[in-house]
A and B are shown apart, each in its own frame.
Chain A
Amino acid sequence: MNKSGLEIQQNSTTLSLDFFGDFTLYQISKYEVAIEGASYNKYGFIEINLKHVTLLDTAAALYLHSFVHKLDNKHISHTIITDKKETLDTINLTKRYHGEVLKKKKEKKSCIHKLGSYAYKHILSYLAFISFLGKLFSTKLYTIKNISQIRFKEIFFEINESGIKAIPIIALTSFLIGLVVAFQSAHQLKLYGANIFIVDMLGLSILRELAPVITAIVIAGRSGSAFTAQIGAMKITQELDAMRTMGFDPYMFLVLPRIIALMITMPILIFLADIMGILGGMIVANTNLGISTDMFLSRFLEVIHIQNFYVGIFKGPFFAFLIASIGIYRGLIVKDDTQSIGFNTTKSVVESIFAVIVCDALFSIAFTNLGI
């Protein structure tokens, strides 16, 4: 790299700026400070000497252009000295293509305007979700009529992807939850000498609530987000459009198989979570409370009615439907840029977990009132 710099010479009326070496965008701000520091306003004539400049880039030429413009406004006369053709060409180029900088107009919106547009957007997105559900049900009805059209291959593929491959993580999570819940309550129960009631507590809480909800949360994080990202990416790369033009309905090929697969796998995964959760609790009961496995199991059979198990399993397909439909819907509304995938994936996970918990609360109220 050539040495570059700026020499400023002053006499009574003239300020001469002698640039040498490379004059590029990396030097501009340094020179700018030096020139401002020389208080050029006082002089009647400014000489800009570019004779020793080895390379002038367009950014530097633009800077000179705006500097000269500033001098013109202040009625300071000036001259640019150069004998290089390239330097002159660059200066002329910037003169010719000097674009105007458009000031961004910032619209000021009132609070009510913002609230209104926010609410309107939300209502629109709910309506869009309802229309998605409508399309989904019409496709479902169609497949019930034409049972041979169901994409069994895709369904089994999805069962493998979002069910079988999720077994280790769900088994581990629910095992740990069972362990932790039992561990926390063991101490309290011991205080009252109510050791054996750990069986009632674990049985009810895990079978009815914990196993289904934990499974749903893990699946929402694992499969719901995957659905959104997959379908969103397919939308950006126009694969969905390609499918439509070839006569393959995306609802038939992508949406329904995923929803059906998840609705099949979810109860099975909840069953697995039940087993692992109880196993975790049983280990703590054995080591901390001295309840043997035999005692635990016989008490379990005595106090936990089978309907508690059915309640937990029954929730599975509903949770699965919520997770899959929200994940897929979010994938389908991805817009044409990469940001949108991230945004919708986040939304899909948050919304599906929220929906699962709301749904669970509704079930709780309903089951309690029904006396189940």
Chain B
Amino acid sequence: MQTIIKVRNIKTVFGKNIVHNGLNLDIHKGNIYGLLGPSGCGKTTLLREMVLLQKYDAGFIDILGYNFSNITEKQSQHLRREWGVLFQSGALFSSLSVAQNIALGLVEYSDLSRKMIDEIVAFKINLVGLKPRDADLFPSQISGGMKKKAALARALALDPKLLFLDEPTSGLDPISAREFDSLILKLRDLLGLTIVMVSHDLRSIYDTLDRIAVIDNKQIIYEGSLDKIRDENSEFIQTFFKANT
């Protein structure tokens, strides 16, 4: 299986506080990969490092063959079109309507006609389960679940190969959360996406993930499939998976 993301010996330091001390990960094509860990363990930081929002202090990250330690600005611009990112609260641009948010990447990066862009936007809106009439609403007019769906549609606008999700189901009611899970599974199957997500939602962890990495005490304490995770002798894993069953 093709490895899309390689993380090697990542070290991150904030002031005096060491966040990561030697993280190693391999994420394969077509997988849904989860990052788990107690609050403040640096899951979101790792995710931000993977999408070039933040610099790490040692080691390297390699995504789709680009090594972040010596990536040029042109390469990183190219890479940014190859992935979609869904932020925890959606981060839709509040001055644009849902449709304009989704169309933004298409308008800026492609030379498609307006009609074609409208059609693509309508397709993505339909794909994530929004209604056509939601297209003209503004982010302040829609609910949290709709915001996440719209943000997902925006992340999918350029048909990325890779999708990063930061707590996709947090703040959603259980029904919307399960819908979101099945949506992510469906998209993976239909579009052949590789998905990396940070999640705390146990149901969504069991339902969607192929592999999981648990970060605790600055290191990865478990990496692999979900079957064997309960055998792992770690306080966090034991409490998290026992307490929630």
Question: In the complex, are the beta carbons of B112 and A25 less than 8 A apart?
Answer: yes
Question: In the complex, are the beta carbons of A97 and B123 less than 8 A apart?
Answer: yes
Shortest distance in angstroms between B228's beta carbon and chain A's nearest beta carbon? Answer: 32
**Residues of the A chain whose Cβ atoms lie less than 8 Å from the Cβ of B127:** 93, 97
- Knowing A25-B110, A29-B113, the reply to whether A101 touches B95 (Cβ < 8 A) is no
What is A's interface to B at a CB cutoff of 8 Å? Answer: 24-26, 28-29, 32, 57-59, 62-63, 66, 86, 89-90, 93-94, 97-102, 104, 335-339
Question: How far does the alpha carbon of A86 sit from the alpha carbon of B159 in the complex, in Å?
Answer: 14
Most buried by A among B111, B121, B159, B192: B159
Question: In the complex, are the beta carbons of B113 and A99 less than 8 A apart?
Answer: no
Q: Which residue of B lies closest to A56 (CB)?
A: B159
Shortest distance in angstroms between B76's beta carbon and chain A's nearest beta carbon? Answer: 17
What is B's interface to A at a CB cutoff of 8 Å? Answer: 94-95, 106, 109-113, 115-116, 118-123, 125-127, 132-133, 135-136, 138-140, 158-159, 190-192
Question: How far does the alpha carbon of A362 sit from the alpha carbon of B166 in the complex, in Å?
Answer: 57
Question: In the complex, are the beta carbons of A25 and B158 less than 8 A apart?
Answer: yes
Partner of B190, one of A63, A66, A93: A93
Question: In the complex, are the beta carbons of A98 and B139 less than 8 A apart?
Answer: no
Question: How far does the alpha carbon of A26 sit from the alpha carbon of B112 in the complex, in Å?
Answer: 8
**Residues of the A chain whose Cβ atoms lie less than 8 Å from the Cβ of B192:** 86
Shortest distance in angstroms between B185's beta carbon and chain A's nearest beta carbon? Answer: 14
Question: How far does the alpha carbon of A338 sit from the alpha carbon of B120 in the complex, in Å?
Answer: 27
Most buried by B among A57, A66, A102, A336: A102
Question: How far does the alpha carbon of A89 sit from the alpha carbon of B188 in the complex, in Å?
Answer: 12
- Knowing A25-B106, A57-B159, A102-B132, the reply to whether A62 touches B113 (Cβ < 8 A) is no
Question: In the complex, are the beta carbons of A59 and B159 less than 8 A apart?
Answer: yes
List, sorted by A's number, 9 A–B pairs whose CB atoms are closer than 8 Å.
Answer: A29-B110, A58-B120, A62-B120, A99-B126, A101-B118, A101-B132, A337-B94, A337-B138, A337-B139
Partner of B110, one of A26, A89, A102: A26
Cβ-closest 7 pairs across A and B = A99-B122, A99-B126, A337-B94, A57-B159, A336-B140, A97-B126, A337-B140
Partner of A104, one of B125, B126, B136, B158: B136
Shortest distance in angstroms between B78's beta carbon and chain A's nearest beta carbon? Answer: 10
12 new A-B pairs (CB below 8 Å) besides A58-B191, A62-B120, A98-B123?
Answer: A25-B158, A26-B110, A28-B112, A58-B159, A59-B112, A93-B191, A97-B123, A99-B122, A99-B125, A100-B122, A101-B132, A102-B136
- Knowing A25-B106, A29-B112, A86-B192, the reply to whether A66 touches B119 (Cβ < 8 A) is yes
**Residues of the A chain whose Cβ atoms lie less than 8 Å from the Cβ of B115:** 101
**What does DSSP make chain B's interface, helix, strand, loop or mixed?**
helix
Question: In the complex, are the beta carbons of B136 and A28 less than 8 A apart?
Answer: no
Shortest distance in angstroms between B23's beta carbon and chain A's nearest beta carbon? Answer: 31
Question: How far does the alpha carbon of A70 sit from the alpha carbon of B42 in the complex, in Å?
Answer: 52
Shortest distance in angstroms between A174's beta carbon and chain B's nearest beta carbon? Answer: 39
Question: How far does the alpha carbon of A292 sit from the alpha carbon of B183 in the complex, in Å?
Answer: 84
**Residues of the A chain whose Cβ atoms lie less than 8 Å from the Cβ of B136:** 102, 104
Question: In the complex, are the beta carbons of B119 and A101 less than 8 A apart?
Answer: yes
Question: How far does the alpha carbon of A92 sit from the alpha carbon of B139 in the complex, in Å?
Answer: 31
Question: How far does the alpha carbon of A336 sit from the alpha carbon of B133 in the complex, in Å?
Answer: 21
**Residues of the B chain whose Cβ atoms lie less than 8 Å from the Cβ of A90:** 190-191
